[in-house]
Every structure is written in structure tokens, then in C-alpha cells.
Structure 1
């Protein structure tokens, strides 16, 4: 299918309409795909190429934000494994029950086929989850790190399945590629130090994702997408990894439009196929409930467990790969491919508002859900110790750190920094700052924060996501906060939104950068030798 103007028009139009309705734009792209399919459009090389590039860049940027040790946490590797075993067992039994009950679409299913379909349905979508987490600014939170970790463990299972089901084991050269990763990492780290911040940085990112990562893995029989992810993880500790991810951010978002269009272009089903897809959607709550129960057994709080389960409350594009492989080998009818594609699309549409309303749903079900919490909580969920704080800086990136240091110099050790990234918190603690690991979008954060001898008088919102800042403002209003609230914004229209939402002062960080530079120069330089031409006062 050529990438003609109608495709772009519908993708933009549907994305814009659903975003104004408070839904993620990706649901609009899915809708655009369905509309195009009714007009005879089918996915072709152009859309598929855009989708594949977008997914590869996405996985590379995920890797840039990920630490290997996060995969070693029990709630990640054990949680993902237990969930997959239970889901496959329950779903395969359910499919066989439908077959025995005489449902036409499910008739003739044997245990091997049922187990294969259940295995495909046990996966959650990496693309969808990361997109949702990026848009909400929660990718670095405990629930975000847990969800991404589970998805990576699932990716490892996918690699093993593809290797054994196709009979194409990795070549002997795969060991050489894996052995070459440490020296390659050293070289790429040095290059990233010297690459600059322009278009060469973006091109270097594409080289790492597609050549050093995806192509190197694919050529030796390993999963290409996993190669991009691994390459990102190798460079994650570099100080400029965040800059590299930021440089690729907008490109990644644009290319992922192709991925969601391609899913929608699977087409509209007949009645029997649609009924089968709806039955698969009705089974989706089982995945969510299992995730919630498993995460709470690993000492995560009910709210963290619920939000993480919602992040994973969908089916995966990997299910289509499994279905295609099974159909090619004659294990599955082609009708099942369309049923899986429709179920995947519908799961995205349903999971989008579910994730947007996760906190509201938790508040509505709080008392019931908290019954599943363990007495001993996860170390990252423990209550905070009291301190004599009067100023809170939310978001300890560059802007937040500058604000923290300024207020500390001005008022002394009464400033508390808050950030959701463990690595950021550890770095600040090592430098002597008072910083706590906290997800301020969590309603329980405000309950965990202790009563201090001197209540907060100033809240500085330095988190980059507007949605996070508005959420904090809403919480402050609910708790009757009487102090001053200041917020930063990246765009002028966000300044207006924040002021309308009730902040006392909001500023564009780029507009204020020049004034800050001038103030810094005057402060650091005793005599500039400049003669003032301003009229004398009085």
C-alpha cells in the first residue's frame, strides 16, 4: 500500500479526535487502520517498514532507560514466569472447554493447538505498555520498571519459542556476537562521549539500534528486536544515554503510527470471527487478576500491583507471530489469525482508558484491594522517615537539581527532593542531597509522607510531564495545601494550563534560561566593566 495522503490524513484526524476525548492518540491510529481497511487498503511494504523501524527504535530507547539488575528482582523474573504458566494453563483449559461445548469457531481444537493459542495470548504488548508509560511519565516508577521488566522476560520466552518452533537455532557465531558485546560497549561508550548533540547523535542512535543491535543479532539467528533492546541496555549507564533517548523520542513516536495502523489494517471480521475475538477479550480480566495477585505476593502494594497489571492488560503483537507460524505449519486455520488480530486491537482500545483511570479505579476499590497486601512491604514501598522539610522539589532532573541547590543555599537543609528513578535518587544521595524515591502520581504517596515539625510551605513541580504536574496539583487541592506551588513548563501553552489549574507561579524553562544565565554571570563575576546607562532612580 503506498503511503498516500489519505493514510496520513486519517491517522492525524483520528488521533486528534480521540486525544481531545482524553484517550491516547494510538487508539485513533488503530481506528484509522480499521477505516482504511473498509476502503480496500491493506498493509504493504511502506507501512510495514515504518512499523518495523518504529518498534526497533522503541526497544532501543527502552534499553537506554533500563538497568540489568531490575530484571533480577523476584517480582519481575518470577512474576513473569508464574503468570505465563498459570495463564497458559487456564486459557488452554478454557479453549478446550469451548471446543467441547460445541462452539463452532473452537470446534476441533486439540490440546497442542489450545496450548499454542494460550501461549500466544499470555504475552502483553511491549509497544503499547511503553507508549502508555512514556505518555504518563511513569516509565521510571516502580510500576513502570516492573511492567517493562516483565515484558523483557516475556521477550526472552519469545526468543526461545521461535528458536525451537522453527528449528532454526542460533548459529555458532551467536557466541562470538555475545562475547563481543563487552568490548563493543567500551568502544560505543567512548564514541558517545564525542558524538555531539546534532544529527550525528541521532544517526549514531540508528546505527546502534539497527546495525550493532538488530542486524548483528538477526544475522546469527537471534531475535532482531532483542538485539536493539540489549544494545540500549549496554549503554544505559552512560551519562548521555538520556540525551540520546530524547533525541530519538519524536522520531520513535512518528514511526510507531505505522505499527498501530498496520494492526488496524488487519480488517473487519465476519460474525463468527468477531464472536471468537470477543470471547478472547472476555478472558482478558483473567490476565489482569493474575498479575495483581502475583505482584501482591511479591510484597508490592495494592495500588502498585493494580497499575502494573493495567499496564499489561492487553494482548501482544507476538500473538500474531505465533499465529502466523502455526498457520504456515498447518497447526491453525487462517481465520484464527484475524481473530487474534481483532482481539489484539480491541485489547488496545480497552486498555487505553483503563490505564488513564487506574488511580480513580483504585480509589473506588481501595478497601477491597488492600486486603491482598502482605504485612511486610517491598523495600521501595516502605513509609518515609520524618524530616524537618519546608520545601519539596518534585522531579530531580537538571531543573529540579538546580532548584534544590538554590533553595538549600538560601534556606539550609529544609529542602526535600522527590524522584521516581532509583538511579537518580542514589546519585543525589551520594552527593549529599536529601532525596526520596517516590511516585507522586500515587495517591498513597501523600499518605506515606510523614507529618513533619514544620509543614511544607513551597512545592516546586519540576517533573517534565504535564500530566504528572496536574495530578500533583489535584492531590494538593484535595489535601488543602495552603503553601505556594511553582511549576516549570516546556511550552508556553503549558504555562497557561498550569496557571488555570491553580499554580501560584509557572514559567517556561527555556524562556527563563537566559535570565538565569545573566544572573549567574553577574554572581560569578565581580566586575564586568560595563557602564550602566539606566537613569538614576528618584
Structure 2
């Protein structure tokens, strides 16, 4: 017990220190976990026992991750991915196996052993790649979806690979039934069955998962709901994942594949979000532990025995896979950042490679030395993966800069109106439509070509170009305009636009869109006349509906809404004078003190309004009114 607690303390301490540091440096959590494992294992020697058993336990985090991914995919979405699964994923596996096999034979390995090496190294890391894609918000990009398709295909391909490995054995060191570890043969449902029997039992297990997910989960969840105990939901969610994983192991399938299938079946369930929230914390902790064990399991003695060879093989593997992935991405019409994400994201070996190498050693396919070297190559490639994502970030920024430099020339503005609208997103569109319905015309500018083209299809004339560029503003009639509406998506660009327009035209009336209260202060300093906070008017309307449903009449609710509106306008103007961009709000004592006083005044004003004694302080509007 003491040893367990000590080891747990070491793992947790290493993770708590390394991961936040890696995140602060922009390296990602995965690299932090891997470095933590290296430090407590090979470097400091704090983990003085084999980590393989703990790694098998931590691999359950991968199983949970695939279950959660399945919950996000409806069966129809999975069917729509079939071309990527069979085409892109299948070609990646076959081509990579062939290239690695050729390289292994060039190094002197026999073809059966070289083929086994190709299978082990053709797979990529589902855990690292999906975790990093999720952290960086890249899962829904073209490159992210393509990478996920390939990873899913690889997970499926592990099954026939495990079946093929015993046929490649040079000398049989263990029975085929020991694929999932000694001591568990009695749990197998297919041991001793003929081929057709194994097939039937396997199909029956998959069918049971599908049928159970479709017909049994709803009544079971409703039964659990009757207990009104939160921990029962968590227990049921874990039971589903653990039970399916055990069933898959008993029929010789990948538990990750089985739980993924169950997640897809449950994707349309009304209990999907409940299961997601229950399992998410366990998935995160186990995945982190898995990455720590990968780092701690690196055998530095083997590495130091032939560092140049192993590091060279690792880099050669990453380059070879990268070249093939780049060509496949081009063939499947991935472009720009998507192609580089697909290439760099999948260039490593993966955790299922550990499974294949371990099984290959049991079957006599790999010798002890070769097996240890392969495990080290896999671990090193996984350790390098976060650095490949950093390289992707660098390339992505350069591609974006190049695209900006090659952007289409601004439109030639052939008309000038007394109103200029800079930014025609959702905010600017409403303003423009209201003006047109009222008989006024505006010169509309925006730097988003897709939005401009969409507006033109609906009959709204607009011009493409960067509204913050002085020459474009002057071409749009800044010198003679009466009103400028600054409605850009970027808060910095909006502030820059307001500042320039106020400097050029002190008499121009500027209406500006603000992101939040601090942005209001920035625009106030820049010289905006009327500042409209996003969501403010809609929030007032929602508050008014709440008051009406609490028993107030429409007139009373309207009066309270109006009182709050006018008080907030005056409050913002007064606090804007105290705001200092160099001092955080919570450290600006004068600001905080006055804000608290104004809140008290607001409560008094609303109470007076509610009691039929409206506040006599009228807000006359005027310059810098902030809504």
C-alpha cells in the first residue's frame, strides 16, 4: 500500500509540475506528460520497477477516448467517411508498410520479420494525435478529419495484423492464445473454436454491442435516473465502457474499436451528454498517465548502446511517413495547412505498435534485441510528435501570411454614400438592412471575400477590401461622410479604425461595435460617439421578459429596462474616465471604488422605479453614449 501511494505521488507530482510548464511554453500537454515520464524514469530513477503493467492500465484512457469520439459521430457521419476510411486510410497503411518493409530488408532483416516491422511502424499514435487536435481546436478542419479517418482505419487494421503475426514467426515462443497476455486464456470465448466458430462468435459480440446500445441503454438509464444519485450515472457510464472492452478482449478484438462502435451507436441517445461529462475526467487522467508511462519506459541503456542508429531510424521513419502522407494528402485534394497538418500529425509510430511488437516477441517474430530497439523507436517518435505540431504551427502562420500577401486586390469603389459601414458580418448586416428599409444607402466595406460574395447574391452591393486601410476609406468617401459604422470582427481593428477616422474627421459621427466593457473604454478613448456592446440590447430584452413573467406589467418592465439602460450609459462614461489600460481593473482602486458606488446607486434607482418614484436624473445621450 505504501509503495503504491509513493508511486502515485511521484507520478502526480511530475505531471502537476511538467504539464503546466509545457502549456505555458506553448508545447502542449502531451509533451509535458512525456517529459515528466522521462524525468522520473530514466533520468532520476524514481520509478524503480517495470512500468509495462501500469501502461496496460493507462491504455484504458485510449479506450475511453475512442468511446467519447464515437459519441460525437452519428452513423450517417461515419458512413460519409467511408471513402477516407477505405481509400486514404487503407492506402496509408499499405504504402507505409511497404516502404518500412523495404527499409528493414535493406538493413538485413528477413522478409517475414521486415513485414512485421512494417506493420508495427505503419500505425500512428491515436492518443497523442487526437488529444493534440482537440487541444488546438483542429478536429473539425479538413486535415483533422482526414487524420482521424486514417487513425480509425489503423485501429481497425490492428485486428488482421494480430492475426497475421503468428504466421510470420521464425520460432514459436508462445501460443497464439496468449495475444493479450498470459493468465487470461480462460476468459477467451474463441479459444479452441474452428475458424467459422470464431467468426460467428465475433460477429455475435459486435451485434450484441450494437443491439445493447440501441435497445438497452435508454431503459437502464431511466432506471438509474430513478435513484437520483449522481454517482450511479458515473458507475453506469464506466460499466458500459469496461464491459464492452472486456467483451472485445474475450473475442480477440481491439477494446478501443469496440467502445468506438458503442459510442457511434449511442451518438443519438438523449443520454449522450451525460455519459460524456461522466467519462471525460477519467479519460483525461488515464491518457495523461499513459503518456507518462511512455516517457518512463524509454530504455536509455539500449539507446546509449547505439544512439546514432536508433535516432537515425526514428528520423528516417518520420521523414518516410511524412513524404507518403504528403503525397496522399495531395492526391486526396488536401491543400495548404490541412495538408501539412495531415502530414506532420501522423508521421510518428503509435501505441498499438507497442502491442504488435510485444505480441511479435511472444510469437518469436522479433528477437529480444530487435524488439527493444523497435519499442525505443516507437517511443522516440511519439516523443518527437509534439515538436512536429509546433513545426505545423510555424508553417501554418507562414502560409497564412503568404495568403494574406497574395490576397486579391481591393475592389474599385465607384460610389460614395453619406454612411460608411465597415464590416458586414451579422452586426453590420442588420444595420445595413434597417438603413435600406428606411430609404438610406451606405457604402459597405469588408475584408472577407466570401461574405462580400454572399451579400451580392442577395442583392446587397458591397466592396471587398481592408476597411482599416486609409486609401480605401478615403475612396469610400471618408472626407464627405456623415456617419461611420465600425462593425469589424476584430476588436483591435475596430479600435484602430475609430482612432484613424477620428483623427481624419473630428466632426464625423462614429458608431462602433464593442466586444465587452473594456472594449467600450478603448473605443471611448479612440473617439467613438455611440458605442454598442454586443448582446447588450438582447440581454435587456431577455431581462424584460423575465420581469414580465414574474408578475410585472409590460409598462413596469419597460420602465425598469429603460432605467437600467440609462443608468448603464452614464456609468460607462464615468468609469471610462477612470479606466487605465496599464492597470488591471481589479488593481485600479479608484475604478473599483466608483464601480461599487454606482452599483449601489443602480439598486436605489431601480427600487425607486419599482415603487413608482422614477429617478429624476435624465440621461441626455450625446457624445460617447455606450449601449
TM-score above 0.5, yes or no:
yes
Is the 1:60–1:229 contact (alpha carbons within 8 Å) kept by the matching residues of 2? yes
2:106 to 97, 103, 116: 97
Q: Does 1:51 align with 2:55?
A: no
Q: Say if 2:53 is the partner of 1:62.
A: no
Asked if the contact 2:488/2:494 (under 8 Å) is kept, the reply is no
Equivalents in 2 of 1:227, 1:410: separation in Å?
52
Local SS of the residue matching 2:515: strand
Q: Match for residue 522 of structure 1? A: 547
Q: CA, structure 1 residues 124+46, in 2 after alignment: closer, same or farther (shift >3 Å)?
A: closer
Q: CA deviation at 1:282?
A: 1.6
The Cα offsets for residues 335-389 of structure 1, whole Å up to 9 and x where unpaired, read as 33333333333323322133244243145468999xxxxxxxxxxxxxxxxxx99
Verify: 1:184 aligned to 2:212, yes or no: yes
Contact 1:50-1:258 at 8 Å conserved across structures: no
* Structure-2 separation of matches of 1:506 and 1:30: 47
Q: Mean alpha-carbon deviation: is it higher for 223-232 or for 447-456?
A: 447-456
> Shift of residue 189 of structure 1?
5.2
Matched, 1:75 2:53: no
**Which range moves more in the overlay, 111-120 or 216-225?**
216-225
Scaled by the length of structure 1, the TM-score of the pair is 0.70
How far residue 277 of structure 1 moved from its aligned partner, in angstroms, is 2.7
2:284 aligned to 224, 238, 253, which one? 253
In the alignment, structure 1 residue 201 sits paired with structure 2 residue 204: no
Q: Deviations over 1:145-184 (max 9, x none)?
A: 2211111111111012123435556463222222334432
Give the equivalent residue in structure 2 for 1:375: none
Match of 2:136 in 1: 136
Structure 1 residues 487 and 28 mapped into 2: Cα distance closer, same or farther (>3 Å)?
A: farther
CA distance in structure 2 between the aligned counterparts of 1:79 and 1:54, rounded to whole angstroms: 26
Determine the structure 2 residue equivalent to 1:338: 372
Counterpart in 2 of 1:302? 336
Query: Counterparts of 1:22-421 in structure 2 under 5 Å?
Result: 22-38=26-42, 39=45, 41=47, 42-44=49-51, 47-48=54-55, 50-68=57-75, 69-70=77-78, 72-99=81-108, 109-165=109-165, 167=176, 170=198, 172-188=200-216, 190-191=218-219, 194=222, 198-211=230-243, 213-266=244-297, 267-270=299-302, 271-283=304-316, 284-362=318-396, 364=398, 390-392=424-426
**Structure 1 residue 198, shift from structure 2 partner:** 3.8
Per the alignment, in what secondary structure is the counterpart of residue 152 of structure 1? Answer: helix
The structural deviation recorded for 1:524 is 5.3
Equivalent residue of 2:322, what SS?
Answer: helix
Q: In structure 1, the residue corresponding to 2:301 is in which secondary structure? A: coil
CA distance in 2, matches of 1:290, 1:481: 51
Instruction: Return closer, same or farther for 1:174/1:85 CA change in 2, 3 Å cut-off.
Output: closer
Aligned to 1:396: none
Give the Cα separation in 2 of the matches to 1:120 and 1:70.
26
Partner SS for 2:96: helix
In 2: Cα distance, 1:368 partner to 1:413 partner: 38
Tell me how far 1:413 sits from its aligned partner. 11
C-alpha separation in 2, matches of 1:147 and 1:408: 37
Relative CO higher for 1 or 2, CA cutoff 8 Å, sep ≥ 6? 1
**Cα distance in structure 2, aligned partners of 1:125 and 1:192:** 34
Structure number with larger C-alpha Rg: 2
User: CA, structure 1 residues 75+161, in 2 after alignment: closer, same or farther (shift >3 Å)?
Assistant: same
Q: Note the aligned Cα RMSD (angstroms).
A: 4.4
**Contact 1:273 1:338 survives alignment (8 Å):** no
Provide the C-alpha distance between the structure 1 equivalents of 2:423 and 2:116, rounded to a whole number of angstroms.
Answer: 56
CA contact (8 A) 1:121 1:319 kept: yes
Task: Give the Cα separation in 2 of the matches to 1:268 and 1:275.
Answer: 13
8 Å contact 1:389–1:454 — kept in the other structure? Answer: no
1:203 CA displacement: 2.7
Deviations 1:466-495 (A, max 9, x none): xxxxxx88999999999746389xxxxxx9
What do the CA deviations read for 1:61-114 (whole angstroms, capped 9, x no partner)?
Answer: 111122444464423321111111211111111222233xxxxxxxxx211111
- Distance change >3 Å, CA 408–CA 136, structure 1 → 2: same
- Correspondence for 1:536: 614
Change (3 A) 1:118 1:275: farther
Q: Distance in 1 between matches of 2:18 and 2:381?
A: 18
Secondary structure at 1:180 match in 2: helix
Tell me, in whole angstroms, the C-alpha distance in 2 between the residues paired with 1:216 and 1:133. Answer: 30
State whether residues 459 and 486 of structure 1, in contact with CA within 8 Å, keep that contact through their aligned partners in structure 2.
Answer: no
Please state whether the residue corresponding to 1:222 is helix, strand or coil.
coil
Q: Distance in 2 between matches of 1:273 and 1:311?
A: 27
